[in-house]
Amino acid sequence: MTLSEPTCNGLLTPDDPAPVEIFNPGSEHPVVLVCEHAGQAVPTCLGDLGLAPGEIDRHIGWDIGAGAVSRRIAASLGSTCVIQRYSRLVIDCNRPPQAPDAMPEISDGTVVPANRELGQEARVARVEAIFSPYDKALTACFAQAPRRAAFSIHSFTPVFGGRSRPWDIGLLFRRDEQTSAALARILKELAPNLCIGMNEPYQVDDLSDWFVPVHCEARGLPHSLIEIRNDHIETAEGQERWATLLTTTFARWLQET
């Protein structure tokens, strides 16, 4: 079952998609899943953001495959998943709204014309229409039932800035080292050949992250931000394979803690 949060007035019109999809909204499962970069939607009033055709389909526009993997895991576990539908180029919902790259002017070398010299009023409109509904939905999800963990599902490109990224999966954390270490151990037991990066290909930072500092660390909630290399989950077969692996991993983690 999926619930769509109401469309916000202002930036979005009634014809635009609701910013938040809540998969299994009534679930009291102890794990909450999050996918902040699941979608590629752009508000009608912003057109194509001035991008060349195909640019928004690249990793700069969304986390390829992450939404599909998240839904599959949530369906298997019976857990709630909070999914954000708009392109990260409109607003990145895993960034503090005031962060320079929350509405990036350039992403991996691609200029985003609609974000050049963006005024304060336009920035606030994006926050109110997209970021705030997502943030409130996630807060409400945590308040709905006791939760034992939260996992955010992302994907990353195999090559960035000319640098090869060899990891199959990365587990990101800061203060809560224990949860990611346990997940890594279980993953290795299930799939010994995996190349697992700890705090790769990114590191958590107050200035550039939202999910970990604000929603997990502030609650003292066990967590991990999970990055899957996107060439593994471009296809339905790959999405199913990785969703099965992570579902088993999360279930094992719950049994052991």
Average pLDDT, consecutive stretches of 10 residues, N- to C-terminus, the chain (257 residues): 50 95 96 98 96 96 98 98 98 96 95 95 96 97 97 97 94 98 98 98 95 97 98 98 98 97
- Provide the CATH topology of domain 2-256: Aminopeptidase (3.40.630)
Q: Which of 104, 130, 99 is nearest to 116 (CA)?
A: 104
The residue ranges of every structural domain in the chain are 2-256
**238-256: pLDDT as tens digits:** 999 999 999 999 999 999 9
Which pLDDT score, from 0 to 100, does residue 162 have? 84
Alpha-carbon 216 to chain mean position = 14
Which pLDDT score, from 0 to 100, does residue 134 have? 97
* CB contact set of 34 (below 8 Å; sequence gap of 6+): 70, 81, 82, 83, 138, 150, 151, 152, 153, 211, 215
Which pLDDT score, from 0 to 100, does residue 10 have? 75
Which pLDDT score, from 0 to 100, does residue 161 have? 83
pTM of the predicted model over 0.75? yes
